[in-house]
């Protein structure tokens, strides 16, 4: 019987901390050396079971082996040879912390284990939080310089949020997400080597190339069964997670913000708090793990959990930089006809921004494009019944801009090094208080003056030559830039309660639990080709829910891949997320516009399932993949099935729907047929896909008995 609540407790006599979630238990024992050691993470275990677990013991009578019990945060002292999550240097050159356990604090769902160094003025708290309705455990670290002025700074070479440990199983398989621009979130699933495996971004952004999520299983888990340990870091700058599988089978991973070499100087009285590194143990395979993450994100991370994500229209693929008032108005009229609820003016509306060479930083409407400013367009969009959205890229600047000419010192740069330009732009140093204040002022004015309901916050370059001239601790910008971005977003949302923000970084270059705590959805990828999108969305869905996954229907042939696909297929793929429209509607035929309007209307019918329901990833024979969304009460179902390529002209086959109730009957809302749950679960539903490539189908079922 699963628990309905989560608890934290600490037994002083045993030095045992226990976190209980509805379906899992996590336990830590404070070692005799004062260091908190990992004891257990897995299915719910009662007190007797926990008592029976072996404590820290030496694995072999050998002077070459370390203590067997993994740390909760390895402090770089003693016979520890794995990756150290905490790496500090004191003024006399001594490295590492040696702990004295000073106590705990447990309140609500939060537990803190308090440590002080035995010799130096350093205190640490290892922090844990559980939520009543979730198996996710949130962890982070706080370290404080407890000395007085004159005791000298402490250099922090690394301060991870947490180290996680999975039980010693004979094999492990690592799942993670890798990719690049236009190819984000490609799921990788390989045997975990006996080695240190580093997943990282050194770019100052979460990155397109790796995402700070991973999952471990024993190599046999599938979508529907198996134990899975997974973690996700809530951070949107550089990060690093090191997975260590040692030859005796110990499997740990330590992770946090910053990549290797990024340091922090901790002054007397100062505290460094890391972002949350969240962990989840699930049974029921990768599907159950994803659903538990989705629920956690919807309930505890994303803002406005109950609010539907709107069907948006975005002008980027239609107009690029060739943007003006009449052109946008024409698109807005067509978008409204199709049923869009939000019209977003993308790049090119401001300053001298007629190409990507100029204008970034000058956030005022370009008079030649918008002679009376943007307000008349915003008013017209509102009159058409849509919200008004605007693209911004506040962290960036072109050299050819008034902002750069006025404040060349505001950019991230090292004066003795080249200032590498990426997309002809430099990055503003948001860690500088005056830059943060400027950004907040500028965006606040923009939102107010132009009645903006939605900001698409883009970031089209990463950090290079990370200098901060004149600052004694320039590395801070790697952390403080991201924190300032968070603060600006948080302040804007607080001051404009109706405002929504879309995260974007040249597509999906900054999608993580940190940015999603202050944005409503993320632009998944600049690649809008529906065939490529199936794989991108599959990877995205491992951690992130469909409501956070912005997906547009664009023109055919696709602008980046040149592939031609039917409108219906493009829609069916995009309907698996937060549907948007991004094509040049002025070139769509009347028939296409009518078909699109009908599909938008259909999406709105299934939106409660897609955006609030449970998601099941499916695959069938003949190259068919699908996602199934079920309402919380199991009554309503929508299945989107796609077959990008036809194989040998084989007839379409049935797709089994294992999440349905075999004891129930279901009404197919389109054909009116009554179907047996048992047949749908065991034999499947006949997809009746048309012949040819890029065939797709939306199936809607309602429980009838």
Does position 502 interact with ligand DGJ (CB under 6 A)? The reply is no
Does position 67 interact with ligand DGJ (CB under 6 A)? The reply is no
In terms of Cα–Cα distance, which of 432, 395, 18, 439 is closest to 236?
395
Residue 19: CB minimum distance to ligand DGJ, A? 39
Does position 72 interact with ligand DGJ (CB under 6 A)? The reply is no
Does position 395 interact with ligand DGJ (CB under 6 A)? The reply is no
Does position 343 interact with ligand DGJ (CB under 6 A)? The reply is no
Residue 590: CB minimum distance to ligand DGJ, A? 28
Cβ closest to ligand DGJ, residue 129 vs residue 456: 456
Residue from 346, 475, 532, 636 that binds ligand DGJ (CB under 6 A)?
346
Interacting stretch for ligand DGJ, rule CB under 6 A, among 185-193, 292-300, 504-512, 667-675?
504-512
Structure tokens of 17?
A: 């901390």
344 close to 386: Cβ distance less than 8 angstroms: no
| Residue 594 φ then ψ, to 5° | -65, -45
Does position 347 interact with ligand DGJ (CB under 6 A)? The reply is yes
Does position 109 interact with ligand DGJ (CB under 6 A)? The reply is no
Residue 592: CB minimum distance to ligand DGJ, A? 22
In terms of Cα–Cα distance, which of 487, 527, 486, 483 is closest to 509?
527
Residue 460: CB minimum distance to ligand DGJ, A? 5
Cα separation, 569 vs 410, in Å, equals 46
Residue 294 sits at the vertex; the CA angle it makes with 289 and 298, to the nearest 5 degrees, is 150
Cα separation, 442 vs 401, in Å, equals 15
Interacting stretch for ligand DGJ, rule CB under 6 A, among 226-234, 500-508, 587-595, 598-606?
500-508
440 close to 457: Cβ distance less than 8 angstroms: no
63-93 in b/e form (b: 16+ CB < 10 A) is: eeebbbbbbbbbbbbeebebbbbbbbbbeee
Structure tokens of 434?
A: 């005056």
Residue from 71, 458, 512, 636 that binds ligand DGJ (CB under 6 A)?
458
Does position 391 interact with ligand DGJ (CB under 6 A)? The reply is yes
Does position 361 interact with ligand DGJ (CB under 6 A)? The reply is no
In the 3-class helix/strand/coil scheme, how is 590-625 assigned residue by residue?
Answer: HHHHHHHHHHHHHHHHHHHHHHHCEEEEEEECCCEE
Cα separation, 208 vs 628, in Å, equals 27
Query: Do you find a cis peptide bond into 19, omega within 30 degrees of 0?
Result: no
CA distances from 412 to 16, 43, 429, 485 (A): 46, 47, 5, 15
CA distances from 194 to 121, 172, 199, 379, 665 (A): 37, 10, 15, 61, 49
Cβ closest to ligand DGJ, residue 396 vs residue 660: 396
Interacting stretch for ligand DGJ, rule CB under 6 A, among 9-17, 379-387, 401-409, 499-507?
499-507
Does position 430 interact with ligand DGJ (CB under 6 A)? The reply is no
Residue 284: CB minimum distance to ligand DGJ, A? 35
Cβ closest to ligand DGJ, residue 501 vs residue 657: 501
Residue 200: CB minimum distance to ligand DGJ, A? 23
Residue 173's Cβ-side half-sphere holds a number of Cα atoms within 13 Å equal to: 16
In the 3-class helix/strand/coil scheme, how is 56-102 assigned residue by residue?
Answer: CCCCCCCCCCCCCCCECCCCCCCCCCCCCCEEEECCCCCECCCEEEE
Cβ closest to ligand DGJ, residue 511 vs residue 685: 511
Q: What 3-state class would DSSP assign to 367? A: coil
Cβ closest to ligand DGJ, residue 67 vs residue 458: 458
Cα separation, 378 vs 343, in Å, equals 9
Q: Which residues pair with 16 in a beta bridge?
A: 11, 29
563 close to 538: Cβ distance less than 8 angstroms: no
Packing angle of the helix pair 325-338, 590-612 (nearest 10 deg): 70
Cβ closest to ligand DGJ, residue 506 vs residue 545: 506
Q: Which residues pair with 148 in a beta bridge?
A: none
601 close to 334: Cβ distance less than 8 angstroms: no
Residue from 398, 401, 460, 524 that binds ligand DGJ (CB under 6 A)?
460
Cβ closest to ligand DGJ, residue 134 vs residue 460: 460
Cα separation, 95 vs 77, in Å, equals 8
Cβ closest to ligand DGJ, residue 431 vs residue 459: 459
Under rule CB under 6 A, which residues in 517-536 are in contact with ligand DGJ? Answer: 523, 526
Structure tokens of 209?
A: 């190339």
Interacting stretch for ligand DGJ, rule CB under 6 A, among 191-199, 202-210, 269-277, 501-509?
501-509
Residue 523: CB minimum distance to ligand DGJ, A? 5
Does position 350 interact with ligand DGJ (CB under 6 A)? The reply is no
Cα separation, 599 vs 200, in Å, equals 40
Under rule CB under 6 A, which residues in 162-221 are in contact with ligand DGJ? Answer: none
Does position 41 interact with ligand DGJ (CB under 6 A)? The reply is no
Give percent helix, percent strand, percent coil of the chain, each to the nearest 5. 20, 30, 45
Give the position of tokens 């670290």: 141
12 CB burial (10 A radius; 0-12, 13-18, 19+): exposed
Residue from 30, 262, 440, 504 that binds ligand DGJ (CB under 6 A)?
504
Residue 425: CB minimum distance to ligand DGJ, A? 10
Residue from 226, 506, 535, 620 that binds ligand DGJ (CB under 6 A)?
506
Residue 342: CB minimum distance to ligand DGJ, A? 15
Residue 110: CB minimum distance to ligand DGJ, A? 37
Q: Give the interface size with ligand DGJ as a residue count (CB under 6 A).
A: 11
Does position 642 interact with ligand DGJ (CB under 6 A)? The reply is no
Does position 507 interact with ligand DGJ (CB under 6 A)? The reply is yes
Residues present in the chain in total: 705
Does position 125 interact with ligand DGJ (CB under 6 A)? The reply is no
Does position 135 interact with ligand DGJ (CB under 6 A)? The reply is no
Does position 480 interact with ligand DGJ (CB under 6 A)? The reply is no
Cβ closest to ligand DGJ, residue 412 vs residue 504: 504
Cβ closest to ligand DGJ, residue 96 vs residue 507: 507
Does position 160 interact with ligand DGJ (CB under 6 A)? The reply is no
Catalytic residues: 458, 526
Does position 550 interact with ligand DGJ (CB under 6 A)? The reply is no
CA distances from 295 to 24, 130, 324, 615 (A): 16, 14, 41, 10
H-assigned helices in 415-497: 433-449, 476-495
Cβ closest to ligand DGJ, residue 263 vs residue 389: 389
Residue 348: CB minimum distance to ligand DGJ, A? 8
Residue from 40, 229, 277, 316 that binds ligand DGJ (CB under 6 A)?
316
Residue 308: CB minimum distance to ligand DGJ, A? 22
Which residues of this protein are in contact with ligand DGJ, per CB under 6 A? Answer: 316, 346-347, 391, 458, 460, 504, 506-507, 523, 526
């Amino acid at each position: 019987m699963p628990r309905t609540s989560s608890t934290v407790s600490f037994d002083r006599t045993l030095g045992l901390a226990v976190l209980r979630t509805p379906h899992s238990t996590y336990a830590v024992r404070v070692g005799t050396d004062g260091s908190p050691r990992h004891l257990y993470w897995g299915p719910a275990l009662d007190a007797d079971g926990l008592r029976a677990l072996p404590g820290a013991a030496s694995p072999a009578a050998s002077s070459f082996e370390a203590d067997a019990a993994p740390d909760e945060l390895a402090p770089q002292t003693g016979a520890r040879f794995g990756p150290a999550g905490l790496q500090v240097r004191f003024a006399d050159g001594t490295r590492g912390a040696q702990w004295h356990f000073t106590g705990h604090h447990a309140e609500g769902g939060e537990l803190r284990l308090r440590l002080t160094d035995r010799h130096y003025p350093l205190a640490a708290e290892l922090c844990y939080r559980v939520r009543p309705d979730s198996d996710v455990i949130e962890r982070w670290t706080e370290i404080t310089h407890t000395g007085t002025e004159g005791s000298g700074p402490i250099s922090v070479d690394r301060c991870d949020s947490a180290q996680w440990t999975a039980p010693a199983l004979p094999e492990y398989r690592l799942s993670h997400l890798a990719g690049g621009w236009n190819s984000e979130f490609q799921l990788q699933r390989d045997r975990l080597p006996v080695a240190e495996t580093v997943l990282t971004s050194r770019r100052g952004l979460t990155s397109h190339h790796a995402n700070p999520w991973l999952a471990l299983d024993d190599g046999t888990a599938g979508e529907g069964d198996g134990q899975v340990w997974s973690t996700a870091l809530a951070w949107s700058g550089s990060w690093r997670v090191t997975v260590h599988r040692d030859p005796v089978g110990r499997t740990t991973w330590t992770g946090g913000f910053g990549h290797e070499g990024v340091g922090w100087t901790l002054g007397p009285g100062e505290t460094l708090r890391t972002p949350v590194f969240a962990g989840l143990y699930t049974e029921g395979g990768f599907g159950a793990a994803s659903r538990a993450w989705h629920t956690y994100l919807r309930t505890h991370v994303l803002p406005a959990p109950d609010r539907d994500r709107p069907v948006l229209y975005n002008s980027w693929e239609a107009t690029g930089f060739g943007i003006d008032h009449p052109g946008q108005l024409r698109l807005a009229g067509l978008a409204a006809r199709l049923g869009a609820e939000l019209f977003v003016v993308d790049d090119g509306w401001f300053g001298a921004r007629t190409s990507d060479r100029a204008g970034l930083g000058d956030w005022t409407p370009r008079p030649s494009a918008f002679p009376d400013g943007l307000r008349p367009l915003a008013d017209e969009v509102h009159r058409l019944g849509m919200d008004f959205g605007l693209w911004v890229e506040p962290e960036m600047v072109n050299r050819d801009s008034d902002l750069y000419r006025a404040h060349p010192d505001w950019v991230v740069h090292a004066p003795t090094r080249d200032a590498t330009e990426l997309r002809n732009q430099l990055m503003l140093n948001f860690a500088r208080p005056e830059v943060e204040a400027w950004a907040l002022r500028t965006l606040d004015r923009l939102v107010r003056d132009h009645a903006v309901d939605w900001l698409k916050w883009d970031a089209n370059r990463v950090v290079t030559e990370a200098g901060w001239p004149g600052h004694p601790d320039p590395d801070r910008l790697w952390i403080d830039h991201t924190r300032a971005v968070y603060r600006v977003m948080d302040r804007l949302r607080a001051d404009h309660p109706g405002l929504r923000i879309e995260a974007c970084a040249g597509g999906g270059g900054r999608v993580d639990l940190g940015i999603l705590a202050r944005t409503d959805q993320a632009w998944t990828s600049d690649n809008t080709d529906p065939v490529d999108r199936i794989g991108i969305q599959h990877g995205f869905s491992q951690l992130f829910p469909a409501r956070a996954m912005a997906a547009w229907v664009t023109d055919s042939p696709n602008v980046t891949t040149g592939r031609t696909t039917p409108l219906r297929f493009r829609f069916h793929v995009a309907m698996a997320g937060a549907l948007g429209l991004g094509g040049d509607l002025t070139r769509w035929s009347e028939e296409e516009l009518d078909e699109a309007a009908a599909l938008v209307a259909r999406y709105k019918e299934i939106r409660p399932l897609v955006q609030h329901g449970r998601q099941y990833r499916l695959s069938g024979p003949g190259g068919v993949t699908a996602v199934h969304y079920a309402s919380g009460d199991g009554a309503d179902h929508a299945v989107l099935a796609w077959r990008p390529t036809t194989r040998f002209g084989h007839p379409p086959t049935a797709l089994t729907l294992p999440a349905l109730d075999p004891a129930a009957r279901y009404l197919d809302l389109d054909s009116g047929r009554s179907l047996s749950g048992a047949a749908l679960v065991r034999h499947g539903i006949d997809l009746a896909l048309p012949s040819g490539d890029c065939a797709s189908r939306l199936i809607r079922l309602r429980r009838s008995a």
